[in-house]
Chain A
Amino acid sequence: MTRDGRLLRGVVLVAVGLGLIAPITLGLWQTARAAFGILPALGRDTLSLDPWRDLALLPGFATSLRLTLVTGVGSTLLSVLMATGFCAAVHARMTPAAGARLLTPFLAIPHAAMAVGLAFVLAPSGWIARALAPLAGWDRPPELATVNDGWGFALLVGLMVKEVPFLLLVILSALGQIPVARHMAAGRALGYGRGIVWIKIIMPQVWPLIRLPVWVVLAYALSVVDMAIILGPSNPPTLAVAVTRWFTNPDPAMILPASAGAILQAVIVAAGVALLIGAEAAMRRAGRWWLRRGGRGLSAEPGLRAASAAVMVLMGLGALAMLSLVVWSVAWRWSFPQILPESWSLRPWGGAHDGWMRALANTGLLAGATVAVSLALAIAWLEGEDRARRTRAPWAEALIYLPLLVPQIGFLFGLNVAFLHIGISSGMAAVIWAQVVFVFPYVMIALSDPWRALDPRMIHAAAALGAGPGRRLWAVKLPILLRPILTAAAVGVAVSVAQYLPTLFMGAGRVATLTTEAVTLSSGSDRRVTGVYATLQAALPFAAYLAAFAIPAILHRNRRDLTGAPAHEP
């Protein structure tokens, strides 16, 4: 390893360690202390289990716990099954590029905006009810709780609308690394049906490649706050929402049981991941037994077809939801059974002008700053690996995924306490820092594969022509990787815009973004203003993805090898 490479790797490791991992550890530690009764700011300094007893006695605690488990585990399992079935059915007919284009809007739109849109579609006065009204003879919205329902059904659907496209993307990219067509031909030649080959041969190869993303989806679904506020049951809500409410309760003594709830949330996620690991081991044993029996009679086709149909319905719902945001933001008079507004107006935009301009500016500033920091860190990390001529160690990969697996509510309060303790006041800088903790992992994951797909001999050729490490980076790697770098930046923008809890906690309510405003407004009555904020919230990531597509297309318009796939095939 060159001295240069060692220095760069050292700097990156210190930055990631102190900037990202230390805050999580510190925050978890402070939260855990409060969960066991130690919070010096309130004059509590004796170890006790009282917060846990108080937590268990809080009204609705048991229901909250049940709701969290049902919506979190249920949405994840259903999403994995549907996404797998859909890929099995359409994989041969869809190119990865076409798949990515189809999925991009669903991935780009923040959870909160999608939730607002789904509420518009699913509500008793929403599009679905309006479409059914002439058939059912309704002249006023039916008295059905279709959103914020006590079962958490709307939340389950909302999570699936966002998770299924993410899993589809992950599975499609994993399939790109497997000779699917040849294995399919080999399996079918041995007398296995298409669906059975998929289950017995393809999925066992896919799972190791998608295991971590599935864990991330599960952790997210179990601890989501913004989408659960908008779509989930309100009284009692899911555990993560309940804990957030207790943390922001005017009575500071509530912080203690809230901290216990936050630690419980982290334990639930850990148990959920442990459950997946256990299920994987059990499936492996059962699967081997099933494989060795060699049965060929079973047909999986009906299941695959059902999964594909369910995915199409979810995607249709999601598309309607996105459309409804824009329609509501320019609607004026829109009484019940009408499918479209009776009059249109830009007044919702003009009336809330000051509010959304400020929120848009804050959101843009946060996205710009967090993406710049995350991208610089990710490129420094990857370049450090190149200069050391090393591949990534498993512990380093775990370090990247850690922030995505620890529930935000578990450490954000403690981190806030720790920040105040060392004199970092809550505000813009603290929010930027907290957001980078979550933006960096996604940027890193998005950039790693294309970076490593760059033919190392191309870089050797540059070195042999006398180009030093700096020139190899700036004049060869970065220009060739322009498209994946901008795509990673767009992913970062989408993640930053979607952040709710870090903004709420680290900004102490003083940093208003499109997301915090949209979540606050969603419980109000004026759908037009909510539509304005949610439309802007979705528009920002869309613009970033559009730029990631358009800029390389313009700059590299005369470079055929850079207009198609980002990776250069050796």
Chain B
Amino acid sequence: MSLDLEALCIHAADGTALFAPLTLHVPAGSVVTVMGPSGVGKSTLLDSIGGHLAHGFRLSGKVRLNRRDVTDLPAETRRIGLMFQDALLFPHLSVGDNLAFGLPPALRGRAARRAAVDAALDQAGLTGLHDRDPATLSGGQRARAALMRTLLADPAALLLDEPFSKLDAALRGDMRRFTFDHVRARAIPTLLVTHDPDDAALGGTVVALTGHPTA
């Protein structure tokens, strides 16, 4: 598995490019970190890779997943997982149903799906919290539940948008290790955008995103 960006560039409605064209290779199981000043378009970059770009932005270049061009696919068929600084668990579903939301439909049978969710809860240290209201979890529990929800969807690549920045300092290290361990174990190519140097220190390659000279 691998994620490749080829001369990827995003243009605003008036035609100006947000940053210099970006070419990047993310091998399976490794974390590439993109750093850059705030406002340069880090989140927009992830939106474009995941297929969530807002109207008015235009994309040039290519996104390849396992060498397949996914640039024009809708977000739900790309199999690219997404994590934000907020866990964004669906507030109307229980913790378990949040995890089940991401399970592929190919996994059939009520018992098998429940078993998969319970196994993921166990791995995240959330055993027994299947029926809980996500609003009642602690910040760390919520972050782990969100990661498990993303991983259960069996993503071919993972995008992390400053995922640890809202956790307090003690939790941040744990959650970072927890996330990176899972990514490596499952050999998922992962792209992380952050302005926290500690995030970059634990990861592999670091790329700086700079504003476009003409911008």
Which residues of A approach B to under 8 Å, CB–CB? 1-2, 388-390, 455-458, 460-469, 472, 475-476, 479-480, 482, 556, 558-562, 568, 570
Asked if A466 contacts B76 (CB within 8 A), the reply is: yes
A456 CB contacts on chain B under 8 angstroms: 52
A-B contacts, 7 of them at CB < 8 A, read A460-B50, A463-B76, A464-B153, A465-B150, A466-B153, A467-B76, A556-B92
Asked if B75 contacts A463 (CB within 8 A), the reply is: yes
Q: Is B36's CB within 8 Å of the partner chain A?
A: no
Q: Is B213's CB within 8 Å of the partner chain A?
A: no
Interface residues on B, range: 35 or more
Known A465-B101, A559-B133, A562-B91; judge A457-B86 contact (CB<8 A).
Answer: yes
Q: Is B180's CB within 8 Å of the partner chain A?
A: no
A457 to B50 CA separation, bound complex (whole angstroms): 12
Q: How many A-B residue pairs have CB under 8 A?
A: 86
Q: Is the interface of B mostly helix, strand, loop or mixed?
A: loop
Known A466-B104, A480-B91; judge A461-B82 contact (CB<8 A).
Answer: yes
A475 CB contacts on chain B under 8 angstroms: 101
A41 to B104 CA separation, bound complex (whole angstroms): 66
Q: Is B171's CB within 8 Å of the partner chain A?
A: no
Asked if B54 contacts A455 (CB within 8 A), the reply is: no
A562 CB contacts on chain B under 8 angstroms: 91-92
Partner of A461, one of B55, B77, B78, B88: B88
B82 CB contacts on chain A under 8 angstroms: 460-461, 464
A469 to B94 CA separation, bound complex (whole angstroms): 22
Asked if B75 contacts A460 (CB within 8 A), the reply is: yes
Asked if B153 contacts A455 (CB within 8 A), the reply is: no
A1 to B102 CA separation, bound complex (whole angstroms): 25
Q: Is B53's CB within 8 Å of the partner chain A?
A: yes
A568 CB contacts on chain B under 8 angstroms: 91
B91 CB contacts on chain A under 8 angstroms: 480, 559, 561-562, 568
Q: Is B51's CB within 8 Å of the partner chain A?
A: yes
Asked if B51 contacts A463 (CB within 8 A), the reply is: yes
Cβ proximity bits B23-64 to A, threshold 8 Å, 1 near / 0 not: 000000000000000000000000100111111000000000
Asked if B84 contacts A461 (CB within 8 A), the reply is: yes
B54 CB contacts on chain A under 8 angstroms: 389
Asked if B88 contacts A457 (CB within 8 A), the reply is: yes
A390 CB contacts on chain B under 8 angstroms: 55
A556 to B55 CA separation, bound complex (whole angstroms): 33
Asked if A458 contacts B90 (CB within 8 A), the reply is: yes
Known A388-B55, A458-B90, A559-B92; judge A465-B149 contact (CB<8 A).
Answer: yes
Q: Is B135's CB within 8 Å of the partner chain A?
A: yes
A190 to B178 CA separation, bound complex (whole angstroms): 52
A556 CB contacts on chain B under 8 angstroms: 92
A388 to B53 CA separation, bound complex (whole angstroms): 11
Asked if A466 contacts B55 (CB within 8 A), the reply is: no
A461 to B160 CA separation, bound complex (whole angstroms): 12
Asked if B150 contacts A1 (CB within 8 A), the reply is: no
A462 to B88 CA separation, bound complex (whole angstroms): 10
Q: Is B80's CB within 8 Å of the partner chain A?
A: yes
Known A390-B55, A455-B88, A458-B90; judge A466-B102 contact (CB<8 A).
Answer: yes
Asked if B75 contacts A480 (CB within 8 A), the reply is: no
B68 to A: closest C-beta gap in Å: 17
Q: Is B81's CB within 8 Å of the partner chain A?
A: yes
Q: Told that A1-B55, A463-B52 touch, could you supply 7 new A-B pairs with CB distance under 8 A?
A: A2-B74, A389-B55, A457-B84, A467-B101, A476-B90, A482-B92, A562-B92
Q: Is B138's CB within 8 Å of the partner chain A?
A: no
Known A389-B53, A389-B55; judge A464-B92 contact (CB<8 A).
Answer: no
A476 to B133 CA separation, bound complex (whole angstroms): 15
A460 to B: closest C-beta gap in Å: 4
B77 to A: closest C-beta gap in Å: 8
Known A455-B88, A480-B90, A562-B91; judge A464-B101 contact (CB<8 A).
Answer: no
Q: Is B79's CB within 8 Å of the partner chain A?
A: yes
Q: Is B136's CB within 8 Å of the partner chain A?
A: yes
Known A460-B75, A465-B101, A465-B102; judge A560-B52 contact (CB<8 A).
Answer: no
